[in-house]
Structure 1
Amino acid sequence: MQSSVNIVDQNVKTMNTWLKDISDELGSIGEEEAWVRLKAVLQTLRDRITVDEAADFAAQLPIIARGLFFEGWKPAETPRKWRDREHYMKAFQQTLVGEVDAEHTLKAVLKVLDRYLDSNELIKVKKMHPKEVWDLWPQ
């Protein structure tokens, strides 16, 4: 059995890998910026899915990413009803700071998540989103 310290160390290593991958996908942005963008994507996904699916999805995340996912969550307000691309992208853009290409960010972070998470779980999350934004997910 792993000790608590080993689990924490492994989670830090995993998060550093994810942040490096996000940075690489987005043209070598800094790790702090990768962190901000990961948080924005996770929380936007969270706000569009059911409470039960949010719990299932979060269970796959490293403990540190799970904290990002749940930070500031108001389960009674979910799932949000962004029914088309325009409203979905507007909601996502509001989670970002500064001039950021929202579509490129979503595609990049979802690509990294697809690399490390169960694809069946990501498909469930995708299907809870408007069909107009399904092209943001990796094929």
Structure 2
Amino acid sequence: MPIPMELQHASDDFERFLADARDGSGLATRNQTYTMVEGVLRSFRRRLAVQQALDFADALPPILRAIFVSRWDVSEPVLPFADRATLTREVQGLRQHHNFAPDTCLADVARALRRYVDAETFDRVLATLPDGAADFWRA
């Protein structure tokens, strides 16, 4: 079996995603953008049970999938979805002194991410997740 195309082009696709997220958020560097993206993914992951998170991860491009599950303590309690202001502060709390995520970070990452996922698959998975999941990814 040949290597799947999504894996063959994973780095290039990730760089394009980071550029889109950077431009959409007004951040200056890919490092700032990476921290914002990681914060958004971690914040979302905290609100899913393990199987739900794995189902969601399968809808992501390969490198974002890896970031989503990286350094995951599955023994942490699952949190309820919160209002956008609370979620935004949570994202901005990751590496707090090196985090430049704007107040629009959730929508900025969602907008960029939706350009790199299969929309039908992504929305189908979101529909199986707890209330608040689909709203989290509203751009």
With the shorter chain as reference, the TM-score category is 0.7 to 0.9
Which residue does the alignment assign to 2:105?
A: 105
CA distance in 2 between partners of 1:87 and 1:26 (Å): 18
* Contact 2:32-2:101 at 8 Å conserved across structures: no
> In 2, distance between residues paired with 1:130 and 1:61?
15
Letter in 2 for 1:73: W
Contact 2:21 2:108 in 1 (8 A): yes
Deviations 1:25-62 (A, max 9, x none): 01252122211111111111111122222101111222
Q: Say what the alpha-carbon RMSD is for the aligned residues.
A: 3.0
**Identical columns (%):** 21
Does the 8 Å CA contact 2:50/2:74 hold for their aligned counterparts?
A: yes
Q: Higher helix share goes to which structure?
A: 1
Structure with larger RCO (C-alpha < 8 A, sep 6+): 2
Q: Deviations over 1:79-113 (max 9, x none)?
A: 21354445433322212534635431111001111
**TM-score of the two chains, using structure 2 as the length reference:** 0.75
Matched residue type, 1:137: R
Instruction: Select the residue among 124, 128, 132 that pairs with 2:127.
Output: 124
Matched letter for residue 123 of structure 2: N
TM-score under structure 1 normalisation? Answer: 0.75
d(CA) in 2 for partners of 1:123, 1:130? 6
> What runs of 5+ residues in structure 2 fail to find an aligned partner?
none
Residues 7, 114 of structure 1: alpha-carbon distance in 2 compared, 3 angstrom cutoff:
closer
Q: How many residues align?
A: 135
Q: List alignment gaps of at least 5 residues for structure 1.
A: none
Residue 128 of structure 1, CA deviation: 3.7
